[in-house]
Amino acid sequence: MKHKCVDIMDVKSFPEYDMLYSDLPWEDRMVKWFETQLRKDTGQEVKNNINGILTQVAKLADTNKPVFLEYSVKGTERVINIMEEHGHRHQQTIKGFYNKNKPLHIITFNNNVTIPNGLEGGTLIKKCINSISPKVVFDCFAGIGFTCKWVKQTGADYIGYELNQKRFEKLIKVYDRT
């Protein structure tokens, strides 16, 4: 199975992958926003917090495989600290931006790749993936398929997890189109 509709907090292990690339929820306010969307879209209720989510990702991610985590400028140090507490080796924090110059960081672990700062979202994602040349990229917060779209353009296989069934259905459409 390429994709799974699941709450990350219920996952016992990640699937086989060569590289983890994920755009995590940014801070507790984003977790609450996604929970509100989930409730509106599906009626499902969950109560997560950012520290629990980051700890779960750190525990489940393989410390011997490259990890690239997209995150807001605020909170980057928390991500690094939690990942390092679980044996991941911080390599670089790449400073990039989304369209309209909204800043983002991609925090890299467990690799020796250096990516230049200042690149735009999709270009930056593809540069990260191409620097590793994985066969399979796993995304534990797949959303509506933004990362999937860029992963597929690199030629790598994509596995995505998403909690919200409506967002998951959009992800499947993106995957099938690329």
Write down the pLDDT at residue 178.
57
Q: What are phi and psi of 58, to 5 degrees?
A: -60, -40
- Asked whether residue 124 carries a pLDDT value surpassing 60, the answer given is yes
How far is C-alpha 161 from the geometric centre of its chain's CA atoms? 10
Distances (CA, A) of 77 to 68, 73, 92, 107, 175: 14, 9, 12, 10, 32
Q: Which of 10-24, 95-109, 157-171 tops mean pLDDT?
A: 10-24
The more confident residue out of 134 and 35 is 134
pTM: 0.87
Rounded CA-CA distance 43/9 in Å is 18
Q: How does pLDDT run across 24-73, given as a tens digit for each residue?
A: 887 666 656 666 675 677 777 767 777 888 999 999 999 999 999 998 88
Rounded CA-CA distance 162/142 in Å is 5
Q: How does pLDDT run across 1-21, given as a tens digit for each residue?
A: 477 778 888 899 999 999 999
Write down the pLDDT at residue 1.
43
- Asked whether residue 130 carries a pLDDT value surpassing 60, the answer given is yes
In the chain, what are the helix, strand and coil shares in percent, each to the nearest 5? Answer: 45, 20, 35
- Mean of pLDDT values over 82-111: 93
Beta-carbon contacts of residue 143 (< 8 Å; ≥ 6 apart): 23, 162, 167, 171
Q: What are phi and psi of 131, to 5 degrees?
A: -70, -25
Residue 3 has a CB neighbour count (10 Å cut-off) of 18
Write down the pLDDT at residue 123.
93
At 117, list the tokens: 């700062």
Q: What beta strand segments (E) does 29-166 contain?
A: 67-71, 90-97, 103-109, 136-139, 157-162
